[in-house]
Amino acid sequence: MKRRRLFILIRQVSLLALILFASSQSQSGQLFNPALDPSTNNPTSNNTTDRLIIKFKSTAGKDGDPEYLTTLIEAFTGASSSVVRETFSGAHVIQLNRQITLEAMWTLTDDIARQPHIEYAEADLIMTPQLTPNDPRYGEQWHYFQQAGGINLPLAWDLAQGETTVVAVIDSGYQPHSDLNANLLAGYDMVSDGFAANDGDGRDGDATDPGTYAPSCNEYISDWHGTHVAGTVSAVTNNALGVAGVAYRAEVVPVRVLGRCGGYLSDITDGIVWAAGAEVAGAPVNANPAQVINLSLGGRSDSCPETALAAIDIARHRGATIVVAAGNNGEESSGFAPANCPGVITVAATNDAGELASFSNFGASVDLAAPGTRILSTHNDGVIGPGSESYRLMSGTSMSTPHVSGVAALLYGIDPGITPDKVANILIRSTRPFPSACTGCGSGILDAHAAVEMLTSTEPGVTILHDGVAETGLNGELMSQQFFAIDVPPDAISLSVRSFAGSGDADLYVRSADKPDLDLFDCRPYLYGNDEECIIRPVPAGRYYVMLHGYSAFSDLTLVADYLMDEPQPGGSEKFENSEDYEIPQSSLSGALSPIQVDRVGTSGSVQVEIGIIHQSIREVSVTLIDPSGVKHNLKGFGGVGVDLFETYHLELAKQPSEGEWTLQVKDLGNRGRGYIDFWRISFP
């Protein structure tokens, strides 16, 4: 294998599970059926919709008149339409004068997207909260402390409580509650549709929840979803009242985006941007930008919508960690947005035994799991409109997500300058193993104490590195020395430490168990400039220290360390590997093909596939496994954040014969970077 140039960014993967109003899947993108009929002002069929989002190319010039879009739509459909507003990204929300079928909407967005001045066109999806109500006040908050399924929170509280941190709960708004009010900041109501809003006005600074009762879309009781989620994040604690919040010294900014029958994607994405402190037309700038954004919502979608991608990028660039639900359909999470969006932490739900909840989605986009059954939090007893404050048990990945958001807030409370990538890395790496094997459930069960301890366990003068997370903007004078350390776990098979970028000349030193110096080290490339790399293979578990020595002054250097894990299967396994390098051609329909000849007889069973791909932009790369019979198994679609892809996938191929040629197919349909297949291996039980 070539010396790997690694700069792995954590695959963010996370929004609260939401039910797609329409169960159909879009051909050109994902669609949630708005089902809001302007003529009757209430929901109609789940197979129709009336809104879309269109963005002009930056080169459109005078041809970028939004009224042109209404003319275009009328030409394609015969329906008149109107411009609702401009979104944060400069796209336009268009409302048709009537419902059309989902199939007709897909055709329309495809036709519009082909026009020379159009960057993209997509349906304005409706997303809804996903939860399963349970009996009121059953049990207590087992999800914080119970040994098998809890998040080990009490020990974390000895180290952090989330002080100075702001969490945005993008949801159905809130109802005042004496166990929550002291931790609430001013929010905003982003619901733009009159029927969904149910409050007699449009967007404004009142984020209170008037109720979601709507029999026309089978909502026979208001769920007060946002109030419940906010209580899990930051209910007031040590006040001799009710329940405790995960980050009880953090503050919550409620952003209302869900109303009757759900909420439009265009409102939700505006809510994300506003929560992060960026400008949204017509709304005042959020005076309390959020470090953590909780999205307990979602819907069925084959890929992440462009509008969501843009909003997530804006929030992340402003330092916000975005946590989302995997979904409550008991299906593969890659078919649901925003759980399948890059740049988020995607959360599955577990029960009190630490097992995957029966309703929870699962799959490659899930990063970790957290308690999501019988979760006790703040609520309201109103059936149609607001009643009296109360507490209630609820279940769903919507309930799992605020546990993770709360622990993320604990990390920001310790280190306000922590990056979203570091937060994701710590949360994912510090999880507790599942009591029994759980495929597609992420790295493990959220462990608050382990996460906080991972961030705080350091030593003076040493910066802790986290697997695949870059330290950027490093500067040093002539003869200066800076120290770092990374903890390598058991079952790691190699460690890579690399310095690059910037100007000047920094020398890289790596040593196991103790700080290196100019004479004592395990690795020292000793090259000109900042571009140096140490690869240690095999690598015993333990702490490895890194020193940057200023051979001359240097500035704006980047340092990243990562380790590659070996993941043996229970009971032993047979492994087959191809470690030859295969260049990935750009814009090729066949891509790069790396074969492995398997001489193992019998059926395949539970197959594990490990891949190592070096590439400058993993968003441009798709990965497919082709079995000996020619059947293709998708491992990774286009999308993602960062460079290089080192990942392990699990496939259930019980009846597929294992003998024959297996092929890894990697396609690159972008133009931002090049790369190659470094290695891949396949394991059979």
Report pLDDT for 619: 79
Query: 509 near 519, Cβ under 8 Å?
Result: no
Q: Are residues 642 and 518 in the same domain?
A: no
Q: Are residues 147 and 81 in the same domain?
A: no
Tell me the pLDDT band of 14, cut-offs 50, 70 and 90: very low
Residue 346 lies in a domain: yes
User: How far apart are the C-alpha atoms of 108 and 117, rounded to whole Å?
Assistant: 16
Report pLDDT for 62: 59
Residue 9 lies in a domain: no
Write out pLDDT tens, residues 591-607.
Answer: 999 999 998 878 788 88
**Number of residues assigned to the chain:** 685
**Percentage, residues of the chain above pLDDT 70:** 88
More confident of the two residues 465 and 670? 465
445 DSSP assignment? B
Q: Are residues 483 and 415 in the same domain?
A: no
Q: Are residues 292 and 155 in the same domain?
A: yes
- Using CA atoms of 261, 264, 270, 271 in order, give the dihedral in degrees to the nearest 10: 20
Q: What SS3 class is residue 120?
A: strand
Residue 17 lies in a domain: no
Can you give the CATH number for the domain in which 599 is found?
Answer: 2.60.120.260
Average pLDDT in the 10-29 region? 25
Provide CB contacts within 8 A for 461, sequence distance 6+.
483
Residue in 227, 233, 228, 231 with CA at minimum distance from that of residue 246: 233
Q: Are residues 297 and 225 in the same domain?
A: yes
| For residue 12, pLDDT beyond 60 | no
Query: End of a domain among 454, 488, 504?
Result: 454
Query: 102 near 47, Cβ under 8 Å?
Result: yes
Residue 404 lies in a domain: yes
Domain housing 445? 132-454
Write out pLDDT tens, residues 294-319.
Answer: 999 998 888 899 999 999 999 999 99
Q: Are residues 515 and 419 in the same domain?
A: no
Tell me the pLDDT band of 538, cut-offs 50, 70 and 90: confident
Q: What SS3 class is residue 591?
A: coil
- Listed in sequence order, the DSSP H helices in 328-440 are 397-414, 420-429
Report pLDDT for 563: 87
Say which amino acid occupies 527: L
Residue in 625, 620, 632, 608 with CA at minimum distance from that of residue 669: 620
Residue 305 lies in a domain: yes
In the chain, how many domains are there?
4
Task: Please provide the average confidence, as pLDDT, over all residues in the chain.
Answer: 85
Q: Are residues 194 and 292 in the same domain?
A: yes
Q: Are residues 319 and 430 in the same domain?
A: yes
Can you give the CATH number for the domain in which 115 is found?
Answer: 3.30.70.260
Report pLDDT for 548: 98
Write out pLDDT tens, residues 476-522.
Answer: 999 999 999 998 887 788 899 999 999 999 999 999 988 999 999 99
More confident of the two residues 168 and 22? 168
Active site residues: 171, 225, 398
| For residue 22, pLDDT beyond 60 | no
Per residue in 483-502, is it b (16+ CB within 10 Å) or e — as a string? bbbbbbeeebebbbbbbbbb
Provide CB contacts within 8 A for 646, sequence distance 6+.
6, 8, 562, 564, 611, 612, 613
Q: Are residues 87 and 48 in the same domain?
A: yes
Report pLDDT for 406: 98
Average pLDDT in the 572-595 region? 86
Q: Are residues 256 and 323 in the same domain?
A: yes
